[in-house]
Amino acid sequence: MDISKNLKYFFILPAVLTILSLVALAAWGLKPGIDLVGGSSLQVTYPAGRPPVDMVRDAVSNEKLGLGEVRVQPTGDFGYILRQRDLSVDEKNTLMQPLRNMGEMEEDQFTSIGPSLGAELLRKAWIAIALVVLCTVLFIAFAFRKVSSVDAAAHRTGLASWKYGVVAIVTLLHDVILPVGLFALLGYTHGAEVDALFIVALLTILGISINDTIVVFDRIRENLKRNEESNRHEEFKEVVGRSITQTITRSINTSVTVIIVLLALFFIGPAATKDFALTLTVGMIAGTYSSIFLASPLLVVWDGWSRNRKAA
């Protein structure tokens, strides 16, 4: 694969999608679920047919109820999920009354989480993501520590090992920003909320994506080592192109099999896991692309910039 001829094209798609995701995030933000900020969730079913969603919203948003904002989301063919602040027993009964007045209704589930627990979950989620990023940089810097000793004059890379870690983090940010931007859009258009499962999905994306990236990086390292042992002179961009060619089939086949399972979970799985499956699907697609067409080309750009800087 000729990296130099296609370099600029590799960056166009991720750059556009990343910018759009950041714009969506800045414009609309994310709607946190009750397990992140606290509150209560009530799921009800109308066996004989649910009333229109606008009627339900008007009924539960009545100022006389004194319950504040109540988010109403259809689920399945006959049910609704209502999310609101943490309710006492009396306030829950107050909420149930207008719902019962609209027809035969069954209460499926009621969950209540205090704001302190939600804040704790959110804090731990950020800590987990930060630790993943830090450990990734440290691991790659250690695993590729011998790469930085390669002599640039022999047409091999002079990139320090920690730069591989930085490039990996850049690609991870790309892989996470895309599903986050998507849910900012879905939150604005469909009221989609992010919850603990969303955080789990992001952490899973980080793990899977870094695995694919390291596979390509490791093949680059192996090819550089073989060139050194055989005294073969080869431009770094050629080494990277050859490494991508050797790993692209494996990476795509592995990702496609996982995506097929996730799509099955999204279309025929329970409603509770649809957002989880959608997040992972988008992250897997982004991660597969970035591992092949973003991470390694970024190394080539950085290597070229370093050489030009030294030559100057």
For residue 140, what are its two tokens?
């790659």
Per-residue pLDDT of the chain (312 residues; tens, 9 = 90+): 666 567 778 899 999 999 999 999 999 998 887 777 778 888 999 998 899 988 888 888 876 778 777 888 888 888 898 888 888 888 888 889 889 888 888 999 888 876 666 677 778 877 887 887 788 778 887 877 766 554 444 444 457 778 888 898 899 999 999 999 999 999 999 888 888 888 889 889 988 888 888 889 889 888 888 887 888 888 888 888 889 989 999 889 989 999 999 999 999 887 778 889 999 999 999 999 998 889 988 988 888 887 777 766
Strands (E), the chain: 39-45, 71-75, 79-84, 106-113
Is the C-alpha dihedral spanning 22, 26, 32, 36 positive or negative? positive
Amino acid at 229: E
CB 250 within 8 A of CB 215: yes
CB 72 within 8 A of CB 80: yes
Rounded-to-integer distance, Cα 276 and Cα 101, Å: 34
Is the C-alpha dihedral spanning 163, 166, 172, 173 positive or negative? negative
Query: Minimal CA–CA distance to 7: which of 212, 303, 253?
Result: 303
Among all chains, which residue has been given the structure tokens 């973003």?
A: 294
Helix, strand, coil % over all residues of the chain, rounded to 5: 70, 10, 20
Among all chains, which residue has been given the structure tokens 């109308």?
A: 46
Rounded-to-integer distance, Cα 261 and Cα 276, Å: 12
Per-residue HEC secondary structure of 220-281 comes to HHHHHHHHHHCCCCCCHHHHHHHHHHHHHHHHHHHHHHHHHHHHHHHHHCCHHHHHHHHHHH
- DSSP-derived letter for residue 160 is -
Query: Minimal CA–CA distance to 102: which of 31, 46, 18, 162?
Result: 46
